[in-house]
């Protein structure tokens, strides 16, 4: 498996991804025989983005799907984004890495 330094060097040469999120991804990958370019591709396939909270991610996901768009505004306010985000993580759809900056979390799809 490529070392973290090799992955970050490859990333820097190609100016791809946020370093802190890539580092969190690498540390959660486990062992394997992947090369730096393969690790960056796996990162790209699963990285959703950085968010202030899991609730913010859930809100963005629901909003982008338009699933509640047909509901009146007063009903949309009853949707529990915090619980939905937690359920996505507990159900194994996503995993979350705590970041230092600039946002609170990086969200990844379980691919």
Contacts of 19 (CB under 8 A, 6+ apart): 8, 11
pLDDT at 31: 62
How many Å apart are CA 22 and CA 39, to the nearest integer?
A: 9
* Residue 83, pLDDT above cutoff 90: yes
Summarised one tens digit per residue, pLDDT across range 17-47 is: 889 999 999 999 876 788 999 999 999 999 9
> What mean pLDDT, rounded, does the chain reach?
89
3-state secondary structure at position 49: strand
Closest Cα to residue 105, out of 64, 34, 50? 50
Percent of the chain with pLDDT over 70: 96
């Amino acid at each position: 498996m490529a070392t973290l330094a090799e992955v970050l060097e490859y990333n820097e040469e190609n100016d791809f991804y946020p370093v802190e999120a890539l580092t969190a991804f690498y540390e959660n990958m486990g062992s394997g025989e992947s090369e730096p370019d393969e690790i960056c591709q796996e990162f790209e396939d699963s990285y959703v983005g950085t968010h202030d909270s899991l609730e913010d991610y859930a809100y963005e996901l629901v909003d982008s799907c338009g699933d509640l768009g047909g509901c009146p505004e007063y009903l949309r306010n009853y949707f529990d984004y915090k619980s939905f985000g937690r359920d996505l993580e507990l159900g194994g759809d996503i995993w979350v890495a705590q970041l230092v900056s600039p946002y609170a979390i990086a969200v990844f799809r379980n691919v």
